[in-house]
Amino acid sequence: MQLFIQQIINGIAVGSIYALIALGYTMVYGTIRLINFAHGEVFMLGAFLGAYFMIQLGLNLWVSLLAVMFVCACIGMSIERIAYKPLRHSSRIAALITAIGVSYLLQNLMIYFFSPEVKAFPAPIKVTVYKIFGLILTSKQVLVFILTIALMLALYLIVHKTKMGLAMRALAVDEEAARLMGIDVDRVISFTFALGSALAGAAGVLFALYYNSLSPLMGTAPGLKAFIASVVGGIGSVNGAMVGGYVIGILETIMVYFGMSAYKDALVYLLLILILLLLPAGLFGKQLKEKV
């Protein structure tokens, strides 16, 4: 039983990172109904930027994290302006294909400049092991817990307590009505991409720090699982994205507990299929009717 609880703790740590990435997917989709498949690569860029700021510039973890979030926010806004904005009123398949294209472009650019080999991530903190009632908790896990909770709380305050957050929620309900009410739709969409990309960048640093690895391909699997987490929770729902991330993380570690780590990815995709069959709108999503 103790080992099972230990795996739950490990799953919450991994699920926290998935939740941060999933928030970017769900905010962008909730605002402009676009699945930004380049989001996983922004996550990867965040990890590389974190390593650069710490190794080359000698910055500490906290300053590096803030710098990463700022740069990734700018990258997210640039991607939206260059790749997505011209296709905003095109078919959804065109925007989807463009998102996949941007994803592969960023991934291959990083492979060209840094090679596809896995590199070690710098260790900005001393790893300390705490034993509480026989359970093991590392300083890395504590850092992940604290930062993800702080970032999620900040996101909640932005979405629910600011004028920009109110504009985001209005745009998610009806873009045309929001435009008629005087809301600058382009500015709100750019802000949404910036916010989601900043969270993805922070998640990239935490992921690379937690697993001590860095690779141009590192955004593919976590990005896809975070997308599944947003679908499971109800894509477009911020609360759903957070819950979905934790569900995926805990599910993976439980599979490790039962000695079936080789099948943990298969179980995640099976969960996605079951959710789409039984709850197409996800756990917290709302069933929307579209006019044809």
- For residue 31, with 0-12 CB atoms within 10 Å meaning exposed, 13-18 middle and 19 or more buried, which class applies? buried
> Among 175, 127, 163, which Cα is nearest to 30's?
175
Sign of the alpha-carbon torsion through 225, 228, 233, 238: positive
Per-residue pLDDT tens for 260-270? Answer: 888 888 999 99
Q: Are 245 and 231 in contact (CB under 8 A)?
A: no
String of b and e for 67-80 (b: at least 16 CB within 10 Å)? bbbebbbebbbebb
pTM, rounded to two decimals: 0.92
Contact predicate 49/110, CB 8 Å: no
Residue 41 in contact with residue 106, Cβ under 8 Å?
yes
Tokens representing 54 are: 């710490």
Radius of gyration of the chain (CA): 19
Count Cβ atoms within 10 A of the Cβ of residue 231 and give its class: 0-12 exposed, 13-18 middle, 19 or more buried: buried
CA distance 172 to 168: 6
Q: Coil, helix or strand for 137?
A: strand
**27 within 8 A of 168, measured Cβ to Cβ:** yes
The two structure tokens encoding residue 105: 């472009």
* pLDDT, tens digit (0-9, with 9 covering 90-100), for 85-106: 998 878 888 888 999 999 999 9
Rounded to whole angstroms, how far apart are CA atoms 76 and 219?
15
Residue 48: CB atoms within 10 A of its CB come to 23
Q: Are 10 and 253 in contact (CB under 8 A)?
A: yes
Give Cα 245 distance to the centre of its chain: 9
Residue 287: predicted pLDDT? 59
Q: Residue 1 above 80 pLDDT?
A: no
CB-neighbour burial class of residue 257 (10 A; exposed 0-12, middle 13-18, buried 19+): middle
What is the Cα–Cα distance from 285 to 229, expressed in whole angstroms?
12
Both tokens of 113, joined, read 């400049």
**pLDDT for 42-85, tens place per residue?**
999 999 999 999 999 999 999 999 999 999 999 999 999 999 99
Residues 175-214 have pLDDT tens digits of 888 888 889 999 999 999 999 999 999 999 999 999 999 9
Looking at domain 1-125+134-278, its CATH architecture is: Orthogonal Bundle (1.10)
